[in-house]
Amino acid sequence: MQTGFYSATGGMVTQFNRLDVISNNLANINTTGYKRDDVAIGDFMRLYKETHDILPIRNHTREGSQHLNRAMTRVPQIVEEYTNHDIGTMLQTDNPLDVALQNPNLFFVVETPNGVRYTRDGAFKLDEEGYLIAKEGFRALSSGGGPIQLPVDRKIALNSEGTFYAQNVENLLEQEEIAALQVVKFDNPKWLEKTGHNYFKNAEGYSEPIAAEGQFLTAQGFLEKSNVNAVNEMTALIETNRLVGMYQKVMDTHMNEINADAINKLAVIKV
């Protein structure tokens, strides 16, 4: 078996998967509230060490050497894919229904056909009935758990705690409290799973979200941009493409040069 050929094949597949992640980040560079993904790349040597620590075979028996020979090859592979929850740049829009969250571990709660989902995208709007909805038409939930209906004929204000007020256009000091956005946080947002369309769900078996309270949670008239850095992603894209080319050259060398050389030499009949 040509270990080098299979190592290069594994490395190329790993870089293809990394390329998918980078491409998705670049495609969402202008998506409001998007959180970039990244990967951690390891090799079988590290996995062997982790497994060896719990193996009952610790000596140089035949069974132990068989396991060692299978695991020693350093084939790179993705050992973890994770989401970076760092906060993005704030963009001022002056739209009264645009809301930005000022803490990286805060999320709006939205009711979808597949259940409750969490998002950082605060580009809300009103439907025909005056309910506050996300871009996809899903209703944002209030702190009480129900939808939020706002009057369409009055000026809407939002305080830093996420509470909506309807103001008298002739006297802005006259205002009526309508509802408060449901804003939650998690013990560790690392365990949130992306479900598409910029939504997250809580991974099964992990702690439930906690209601976020206090000032400076929300900012009206602002949107949080994605935390994707175009320069970093393009640099990673170039690096990944170069690695794919290097692995391809290794595979080509094995198939067209080493194999051919071996066949020609082995085929020589000495008389």
Q: Cβ(134)–Cβ(151) under 8 Å?
A: no
Each residue's pLDDT expressed in tens, for the chain with a length of 271 residues = 566 777 788 888 899 999 999 999 999 999 999 999 999 887 656 655 555 555 555 555 555 545 544 444 567 888 889 999 999 999 999 999 999 999 999 999 999 999 999 999 999 999 999 999 999 999 999 999 999 999 988 889 999 999 999 987 766 667 899 999 999 999 889 889 999 999 999 988 787 899 998 777 899 999 999 999 999 999 999 999 999 999 888 888 877 766 666 666 666 655 5
Q: For the beta carbon of residue 103, count every other beta carbon within 10 angstroms.
A: 14
CA gap 241, 16 in Å, rounded: 9
User: pTM for the full model?
Assistant: 0.80
**Spatial CA neighbour of 107 closest among 93, 92, 95, 122:** 122
Residue 43 pairs with which residues in a beta bridge? 76
Task: Detail the DSSP E strand segments found in 113-162.
Answer: 115-119, 125-126, 132-133, 139-140, 155-158
Q: With 0-12 CB in 10 A as exposed, 13-18 as middle and 19+ as buried, what is 5?
A: middle
Neighbouring residues of 267: CB distance < 8 A, sequence distance ≥ 6: none
Q: What is the DSSP letter of 215?
A: S
Q: Cβ(14)–Cβ(78) under 8 Å?
A: yes
